[in-house]
Structure 1
Amino acid sequence: MKKLLPFAAAGLVLAACGGVPGNSVATVDGDPIEKTDYDHWTKVVKKLSPGIKNDEVRNQVVSLIVSFRWLDGEAERQGVTVSDAEVKKSFDAQKRQAFPKDADYVKFIRESGQTEEDIRARVRVELLGQKLQAKVVKGKDQVSDKAIADFYAKNKTRFAQPEKRDLRVVLTKGRRDAERAHAALDDGGSWTAVTKKYSIDDTSKASGGKLPAQAKGTLDAALDKAVFGAEQGELVGPVKTQYGYYVFTVTNVVAPSQQSLAEAKETIKQTLASQNQQKALTAFMADFTRRWREKTQCAEGYKTPDCANGPKPTPTPRMQ
C-alpha cells in the first residue's frame, strides 16, 4: 500500500512541439499527459525515495504515468471494466492491512504527498491489470493426457526418490578420538554418552547421534560411499571426510522409489498449466508493450525507453 501511485489525469490543451503539447510531457495515443501530473508525481517519488537521482526520478515518473495510460487504454480496447464498488472493496482491504490505525494512514498521506483520490485511482488500475491478466490466461490451464505422459517420460527422474538411510553418527576432529568412540560403542557404550563425550557436531550430538533420512548422493563423497555400502546395524569407521572423522551405524533403510504416471499426474498437470499460462502472459506483455510504446511520444527532456521517440528499450516487457 505504501508504494501505491495513482493514475495520471489526462491533459486537454494541445500545443505544438514535435507532436507533444507545450504544457505536456508526453502523449499516449494522442492524449496528452500534462506537466502538472508529472510534477505531482515527481514530488511523491522524491518523498518516497529520498536521495534518488534526477534521471531515475524522471524515468520512474514517466514510466509510471505512461504505463497507467497504457493499461487504461488496453482495458478499454478489450472491454475490461472495474466498478466503483470493486475499487472501494480493494482499497478498504489494503488500507486495513497496511494501516491498522487511522492515524498512520493520515500520516502516510501527509508525508507521501498523495491524496486518497490518487491511491483509489491506482487501485483501480491495479484491478484492471488483474482482470486483463485473468483474461489472457483464461483456458490456458487445460492440459492433455498426452502432454502429461510426454512430460513424465522425459522427466522420469524428477519423480524418483533415492534410497535413504537413518544413521547414528559420531563426528570427531581427529582419528584418535574417532577410534576411541568406536571402541566405546563396540564395548556397549550408549550413543548418547559417546556422542556427548566425543562428537563435535552439535546437531546430531543433541539427539544422541541421530541423523535421519540421509539420501544417497547427498553426503560427503567418502561418507556417502561408506554409508550406502554398509550393512544395517554394522558399526563403521573411522571414515575420513572434509569435516572430520565419522563413526556410524545404519539404523534403518528406505528403499528407492519411483512415482507412477498416475501418482505424478496432478503435479505434472499443474506444472504444465502454469507454464502455459506464463507463456501466454509473456507473449501478451511483449505485444502489449510494443503496441503502446508505438503510441507514446515524449517531449525533449522526458524521453525514456517507454517512448517511441526515446532510447531503445531493454527486452524485459512488464505490466504494472
Structure 2
Amino acid sequence: MKQKKMVESTISIKDSEMKSYFNQNKDSLATEAQVKASHILVADEKTAKEVKAKLDKGEDFAKLAKEYSTDTASKSDGGNLGYFKKGDMVEAFANKAFSMKVNEVSDPVKTEYGYHIIKVTGKKEAQKATYENSKAKIKQTLLDQKYQTEYPTWLQKLKKKYDITNKLDS
C-alpha cells in the first residue's frame, strides 16, 4: 500500500486523458437497468403454492423465506438478493422480476433450481454514462494502469539511489 501511494504521487493524469478514455469507453461506463428483489426458493410446486397462499393471507415474506427457502445464500437475510442486472439471473427468473412492480409478489416461477416466489423491492433505471458521473472511476482506472507501467521504473530508481546489493543470490 505504501509503495502504491508513493508511486501514485508521482503520476499525473490530465483532464484530456480522462475525456479521451471516457469517449472510448462510454458504453462500458453506462449502467444497465437493475432490480432489487427477494425470493423464496422451494423444491416443488406444491410447497410453492402453499407459501404463496400464506403470503396472500398477509404473512411476512422475510419470515417465510427464512422458514421455507432452500437458497442457503439468501434465506437468512429474508431471501434478499440485492440489486442485479437482467443477465445476472436465469432467464425465467429475470424476465419475471423485471416485469414486476415494486412491492409486487409473483406467483411461483419455475427454473432449473426449483420454484421461486419473487418480491421486487426496488428498481433502478438504465443510465447513460456522463463524463461528470464517471470522472472518479476513470481517474482510478487510469491511475491503476499507469501504476503498472511506472512501478518498475520507480523501483529501479530507488535501487540505484540507495545502492542495494542482493547477497542472497550466491
TM-score, normalization by structure 2: 0.70
Counterpart of 2:97 in structure 1 is 227
The equivalent of 1:173 in structure 2 is 43
Does 2:118 align with 1:248?
yes
Given the superposition, is the C-alpha separation of residues 177 and 261 from structure 1 closer, same or farther in structure 2, using an over 3 Å criterion?
A: same
5+ residue gaps in structure 2? 155-170
Does residue 195 (structure 1) correspond to residue 50 (structure 2)? The answer is no
**Are the structure 2 counterparts of residues 273 and 211 from structure 1 closer, same or farther at C-alpha, using a change threshold of 3 Å?**
closer
Q: Equivalents in 1 of 2:138, 2:42: separation in Å?
A: 44
What are the equivalent positions in structure 2 for 1:116-135 lying under 5 Å apart? none
1:138–1:257: structure 2 CA closer, same or farther, 3 Å change rule?
closer
Shift of residue 227 of structure 1?
Answer: 0.6
Q: Report the AA paired with residue 143 of structure 1.
A: I
Structure 1, unaligned stretches of length 5 or more?
1-129, 286-320
Q: Distance in 1 between matches of 2:79 and 2:140?
A: 40
Identity of aligned residues (%): 28
CA–CA distance in structure 1, aligned partners of residues 57 and 102 of structure 2: 18
Q: How many correspondences in the alignment? A: 153
Aligned to 2:81: 211
- Residue correspondence of structure 1 range 1-320 to structure 2 within 5 A: 141-280=11-150
Going from structure 1 to structure 2, the CA distance change for 1:167 and 1:266 (only over 3 Å counts) comes to closer
Whichever residue aligns with residue 27 of structure 2, its letter is T
Cα deviations by residue, 1:146-184 (Å, 9 ceiling, x for unpaired) = 221111111123322332322232100112211221122
Q: Residues of 1 paired with 2:106 and 2:20: CA distance?
A: 44
In structure 2, how many angstroms separate the alpha carbons of the residues matched to 1:219 and 1:234? 18
How far apart are residue 197 of structure 1 and its match? 4.1
How far residue 246 of structure 1 moved from its aligned partner, in angstroms, is 0.2
| Higher RCO (CA < 8 A, seq sep 6+) | 2
Structure 1 window deviating more from structure 2 (249-258 vs 272-281): it is 272-281
Aligned residues of 2:66 and 2:77 also touching (Cα < 8 A): no
* CA–CA distance in structure 2, aligned partners of residues 205 and 277 of structure 1: 42
- 4+ long deviations beyond 6 Å: none
Distance 1:153 1:159 in 2: 10
